[in-house]
Amino acid sequence: MDIDKIIEKAGGADEIAALAGVGLEAVRKWRQSRMVPTKHWPALLRVPGIALQDLTADLTAPQPPQEQAQQEQAQQEQERETDVSNPCPPGANAALVLADGTVLWGRGFGAHTDGAVGELCFSTGMTGYQETLTDPSFAGQIVTFTFPHIGNVGTNADDNEAPKMAALGAVVKEDITAPASWRSHDPLAAWLKQHNRAGISGVDTRAITRTLRDNGPQTAILAFPENGRIDTDSLLNRARQWPGLEGMDLAKEVTQPKRVWTQGVWETTRPARTENRRRVVAMDYGAKDNILRCLVTAGCDVTVLPATATAEEILELKPEGVFLSNGPGDPAATGTYAVPAIRTVLDANVPVFGICLGHQLLAQALGGKTYKLERGHRGANQPVKDIETGRVEITSQNHGFAVDEKSLPTDVKVTHVSLFDGSNEGIASTTKDAFSVQYHPEASPGPSDSFYLFERFVAVMDRRAKAGA
């Protein structure tokens, strides 16, 4: 390709620039790289005297590797700069596009993605970002961290709450620095890449938080493409087509096969109970590992069943108690198969303890309903009041749905309430040994305000065993 002859046949630099819809700077770069990007060929082929062989004549000629690499780099740069659908500002290589049309540019890290779409949320936790990202309750969501310094202590094999990262992506304010912790095995960016997930830094996370606070949940798409080309119009269209979490059953996507769990918590002021241990079946709707550890430490021998396990499969194990775990998605959707099983367990007079999604499923099994919150509760240091004792617990939470207290039957009492917005945080049946809480008592932000709930569950089973139930 003789670029100068091509420009001459088109009538000069001004004419070819107008014909291709680019600026003169782009034409200058064409001369520098000695080629015209292929996407402009259709426009040039309309010019009399320019044929396809004029544009392709030298493309098959052998080139020194260094020259070829330079030419390819120059072509990529000019395509990015002349592509009107890629208004990527200097220094940016990733974008977060909200369904309301907001475009936030930043610097990508982790694995490349052409666009991960989900519900954008924010978490207020100052620590524990690895636990947050691997919490199965975050499936279908992109997590914005309000704390600016995320990734500074790296990642390790011990802090995962599940085998793989559940969140679709991470949004942080500051660039990730080198890990500064003796516990670190891998930097956060490398860890994200291992999990095939992307993150974006350099974003105004306070602005995102205000948007979510004032306008409720937002659908968003995080793009960190390998070729550096970002079509914001296409991303916006994809974000607007996403149906949202309402009606979406995600428990089936994060649940694991049947397994026996034996590991207790690593460090605790409460010694693990070793005598008179109770047989517990834990329903895995997206269970966090530390919840299972707490059950073991409290005195349970735990068999974990997948979310779709039937009542017959549960009762076949002759459990002294059934635990309902946390998990993602709409509880009404998961309830289509989970609630019938839970009702059968309740009818069999087996004690039940639920957390988070498990709390919402138990409420449905007892006759209540759930609804989507205007803004979810995610993060630590969230105050919850125990109505019976008046005690306030500092809790960790992660939920976008809640139990509708008005829908609860008369034989179900409210036990806990959020001091943030007054939404329900706990219930108990007055006719069955069944209770649940909306928050995560195993996360210990207090640091151990809520561990008594696991001990209460074991105490119920002890009482029944003593009475010969």
Indicate which residues carry an active-site annotation. 356, 440, 442
End-to-end CA distance of the chain: 88
Residues paired with 95 in a beta bridge: 105, 223
Instruction: Count other C-beta atoms under 10 Å from residue 151's C-beta.
Output: 25
The Cα-based distances of 44 to 9, 39, 83 in angstroms read: 10, 10, 17
Do 283 and 350 form a contact (C-beta atoms < 8 A)?
Answer: no
CB atoms within 10 A of CB 45: 12
Is 245 within 8 Å of 119 (Cβ atoms)? yes
Q: Are 378 and 121 in contact (CB under 8 A)?
A: yes
Residue 58 per-residue DSSP state: T
Nearest to 229 by CA among 384, 78, 444: 78
Q: In this structure, are residues 412 and 363 in contact, taking their beta carbons and an 8 Å threshold? A: yes
Q: Is 39 exposed, middle or buried (0-12, 13-18, 19+ CB in 10 A)?
A: exposed
User: Any long-range contacts for 2-9 (C-beta under 8 Å, 24+ apart)?
Assistant: 2/54, 2/57, 2/58, 3/30, 3/31, 3/34, 3/35, 3/36, 4/31, 5/54, 6/36, 6/44, 6/50, 6/54, 6/55, 7/31, 9/47, 9/49, 9/50, 9/54
What sign for the dihedral angle of Cα 319, 325, 331, 336? negative
Nearest to 397 by CA among 123, 128, 144: 123
Cβ burial, residue 316 (10 Å; 0-12/13-18/19+):
exposed
The 10 Å CB-count burial string (b at 16+, else e) for 226-263 is: eebebbbeebbebbeebeebeebbbbbbbbeeeeebee
- Coil, strand or helix: which one is 393? strand
Do 399 and 359 contact (CB within 8 A), yes or no? no
Nearest CA-CA partner of 217 in 330, 327, 333, 380: 330
